[in-house]
Chain A
Amino acid sequence: MIKIEHLTKRYGTTLAVDDLDFEVRPGVITGFLGPNGSGKSTTMRVILGLHHPTKGRATVKGQNYAELRAPLHEVGALLDAKAIHPGRTARNHLRALAASNKIPLARVDKVLGFVGIDSVANKKVGNFSLGMSQRLGIAGALLGDPAVLLFDEPVNGLDPEGIRWIREFFRSLANEGRTVFVSSHLMSEMAVTADQIIVIGRGKLITQGSIDSLTATAKGTVFVRASDHPKLITALKAQNGTVSEANDEALSVSDLTSDQIGQIAFDADVVLYELTPQRASLEDVFMDLTADSVEYGSSGVRNEQ
C-alpha cells in the first residue's frame, strides 16, 4: 500500500509535482500514466526516499521509506534498468544488493532463474541489451520478496515476447495480493496491463479510477452514412445532437445514441446506410485528458476532432 498525501516537489523554479494525492492498493495492478516530464519518476523517487518532498509526504505501509527496517523485504523497485555499474556482473550486482539486506545468496540465483537471465549471470552488465537489463532490474526488485513493487517504464526495450511475459508477471504478482505500481507514458500498454489507472500531467492529478470507468466517461461518437446528409444534420441538431465531422461520405455524431439517431432519421424520412457506434479508445481518452499538460506537444500532427 502506497499513499501519496499532498505531495509537492519543486526543483529550483520548476514545479515537478503539484499537490498530488492518491493511494495505490494491494491486489491490483495500478498504472501510473502521464506524458514524459509529467512527474512520474519524481513521484517514484520521493516514494523511495531518494528525493525529499518540498511539501506533503509519501508513505509505504504508513511509514516513510527511510524508516523501513529492511527496505528490500518491503519494497522492490525498478527505476532505471541501465543504472548499474557496467563493469560488474549481473550476479555480483545482485549479491551486493542482497548482502545489504541480509538476503541469502540462494535467493540471488533463484531470481536470476526466474527472470530468465541465469545463463548470463556472470557476464558484465555493460554488454546487456536494454531488455536483459530490464530483467536484471526486475530480479533486483524481487530479491527481498516484497509486498510492494514499483516499476518505472518497465516495458521500454522489451521485445514482444518480453512484454507478454512482463504482463503475465505483473498479473501474478497482483494475484498474490501484492501492490503493483507501474508507470508508463503509453496508454495502450496500460489498457491491457493495469486494473486501476492514475493519470497525471504537469505534476497534477488529472483523473484516477478503473480502466472501465475511464472509458465510460469518454464521449462516444456514432459513424453515420445516410441518403441525405444536410437534411439529417438539421434534424439531428434540432434534437441537440452534435455533428463533429461532416462530408459527402459520412457524419460523426455525438451526444446522441445510435438508437436515437435511427429514430430521428426515420422521422425525417432519411435512409440510413450505416450506423456504427464508435467507442472512444483509451488512447483518445488519455490524449484528451493530458492535451493541456504535454510539455513538448506537437500541435500540428494531431487532428482536432
Chain B
Amino acid sequence: MSSDLSLGSVVKSEWIKFRTVRSTVTGVFVMFALTIGLGALIAWATRSHWNSMTQVEQVTFDPVSESLIGIVLSQFAVGVIGTLFITNEYASGSIRTTLAAVPNRMKLVSGKLVVIIASMFVVTEAACFGAFFVGQSIFSGAVPTASISSGGVLRAVFFAGLYLTLLSVLSVALGFIFRHTATCIGFFVTVLMILPLITLAIPESWRVHITKFEPSELGNAMTSVITPSGDLNAWSSLVTLVIYVVVVLAIGATLFQRRDA
C-alpha cells in the first residue's frame, strides 16, 4: 500500500481543496463579472458618447485597452482568490493537517502553484478574451474596433490574462509570507493602487524612471497594443513582472520551509 508522495497526488489534493471552498467559486465569478462587465459598461458609455468626444479623445481612442479596462478591478478579485488559498489554511489551522499529510514543504508549495497557475490561467484568459470580444461587438458600427488578427492585439489580450495569472501567484506568495488574509490583501492593494498614487508626489524627472517599474504600470504596458510613452515595452514588462513574482515567491517559500507550522 506504500507509495511515494508524488507531485501529481499533491496537485490532486490541492485542487480538491481549492475548488471546494466558496471563496474560490465566488472569487472566479466576481473576476469574470468585473473583467467582462466593467469592460462592457465602459464600451457602451464610449459608444453612446462618441459624437460628443473631443477630436483628441477620438484619435487616441484604443479599442483594445478600453475593452480590457475591467482588469483594473478584477486584479483584486484574483488577489483575494490566491491569498485565501493559503491564508484560509492558517485561519482554520488546517495547515497542520495538510503538512502532516504532505511533510515535504517544497512539494506542497509546488502543488499549490500548479493548481493556482493552471486554474487562474484558464479562467483569466477566458475572461480577457471574453472582455475583448464583448467590447468590440459593442463598439462595432459606431466606434473604431480592433481585430484580434491585427498586429499586437492578440498579444495584448493574451498578456492581460498572463498579468492576472502572475498576480494570483504573487498573492499566493504573500500568503506564505504574511499568513493573515487582511495583511496580504492590504499589501496587495498598496502595491497595485497606493504605490502609483505615492509616486505622483515625486518630481517628474525622477518619476519617469520609477513609474514604469511599478507592477500596475507593467500591466498597463503588457495589455497595450502600442507601448505607452515612458513605459517598458510589453515583453520587457512581462519579464520584469515575472522577476518580481519569482523573488517574492522565493521569500515566501523560504519562510514557509523554515517556520514552525
CA A148 to CA B193, docked complex, whole Å: 51
B55 at the A interface (CB under 8 A): no
Query: Which of A77, A87, A100 is in CB contact (< 8 Å) with B22?
Result: A87
Query: Which of A65, A79, A89 is in CB contact (< 8 Å) with B97?
Result: A79
Can you name the residue of chain B whose Cβ is closest to the Cβ of A98?
B13
Question: Judging by beta carbons under 8 Å apart, are B100 and A92 in contact?
Answer: no
B105 → A minimal CB distance (Å): 8
For A73, what are the chain B residues with a Cβ–Cβ distance below 8 Å?
1-2
In the complex, number of A-B residue pairs with CB atoms less than 8 Å apart: 106
A206 → B minimal CB distance (Å): 25
A55 → B minimal CB distance (Å): 15
Question: Judging by beta carbons under 8 Å apart, are A99 and B13 in contact?
Answer: yes
Can you name the residue of chain A whose Cβ is closest to the Cβ of B89?
A85
CA A89 to CA B17, docked complex, whole Å: 10
Among A50, A72, A80, A92: residue with most chain B CB under 10 A: A50
For B88, what are the chain A residues with a Cβ–Cβ distance below 8 Å?
85
B109 → A minimal CB distance (Å): 14
Segment at the interface with A among B3-11, B136-144, B159-167, B183-191:
B3-11
Q: A69-B4, A70-B2, A100-B101 are in contact. Are A83 and B96 (CB under 8 A)?
A: yes
Q: A85-B88, A140-B97 are in contact. Are A65 and B103 (CB under 8 A)?
A: yes
Query: Which of B5, B97, B100 is in CB contact (< 8 Å) with A70?
Result: B5
Question: Judging by beta carbons under 8 Å apart, are A70 and B104 in contact?
Answer: no
Which residues 82-96 of A have a CB within 8 angstroms of B?
Answer: 82-89, 92, 95-96
For B104, what are the chain A residues with a Cβ–Cβ distance below 8 Å?
66
A302 → B minimal CB distance (Å): 33
Can you name the residue of chain B whose Cβ is closest to the Cβ of A86?
B92
A145 at the B interface (CB under 8 A): yes
A33 → B minimal CB distance (Å): 22
For A79, what are the chain B residues with a Cβ–Cβ distance below 8 Å?
96-97, 100
CA A63 to CA B79, docked complex, whole Å: 39
A101 at the B interface (CB under 8 A): yes
Can you name the residue of chain B whose Cβ is closest to the Cβ of A50?
B261
B260 at the A interface (CB under 8 A): yes
Q: A86-B92, A96-B16 are in contact. Are A50 and B2 (CB under 8 A)?
A: no
CA A234 to CA B113, docked complex, whole Å: 80
B152 → A minimal CB distance (Å): 42
B222 → A minimal CB distance (Å): 34
Q: A51-B260, A80-B93, A100-B10 are in contact. Are A88 and B2 (CB under 8 A)?
A: no
Can you name the residue of chain A whose Cβ is closest to the Cβ of B17?
A96
B99 at the A interface (CB under 8 A): yes
Question: Judging by beta carbons under 8 Å apart, are A68 and B101 in contact?
Answer: no
A6 at the B interface (CB under 8 A): no
CA A84 to CA B2, docked complex, whole Å: 26
Among A65, A79, A86, A88: residue with most chain B CB under 10 A: A88
B47 at the A interface (CB under 8 A): no
Question: Judging by beta carbons under 8 Å apart, are A96 and B103 in contact?
Answer: no
CA A92 to CA B20, docked complex, whole Å: 7
CA A45 to CA B259, docked complex, whole Å: 13
A186 at the B interface (CB under 8 A): no
A49 at the B interface (CB under 8 A): yes
For A68, what are the chain B residues with a Cβ–Cβ distance below 8 Å?
103
A124 → B minimal CB distance (Å): 9
Can you name the residue of chain A whose Cβ is closest to the Cβ of B111?
A100
For A86, what are the chain B residues with a Cβ–Cβ distance below 8 Å?
92
- What are the interface flags for A12-36 relative to B under an 8 Å C-beta threshold, 1 for contact and 0 otherwise? 0000000000000000000000000
Can you name the residue of chain B whose Cβ is closest to the Cβ of A82?
B93
B246 at the A interface (CB under 8 A): no
B29 → A minimal CB distance (Å): 15
CA A70 to CA B101, docked complex, whole Å: 8
A267 → B minimal CB distance (Å): 65
Question: Judging by beta carbons under 8 Å apart, are B17 and A102 in contact?
Answer: no
Question: Judging by beta carbons under 8 Å apart, are A92 and B16 in contact?
Answer: yes
Query: Which of A51, A69, A83, A89 is in CB contact (< 8 Å) with B94?
Result: A83
CA A96 to CA B17, docked complex, whole Å: 6
List 12 additional contacts besides A50-B260, A52-B258; criterion CB under 8 Å.
A50-B100, A65-B103, A69-B4, A72-B100, A79-B96, A82-B92, A85-B89, A86-B92, A89-B20, A100-B10, A100-B12, A101-B9
Interchain residue pairs with CB less than 8 A apart (19): A48-B99, A50-B99, A66-B103, A69-B5, A71-B5, A71-B100, A72-B101, A73-B1, A75-B100, A79-B100, A83-B97, A87-B22, A95-B16, A99-B9, A100-B12, A100-B13, A101-B101, A102-B9, A144-B1
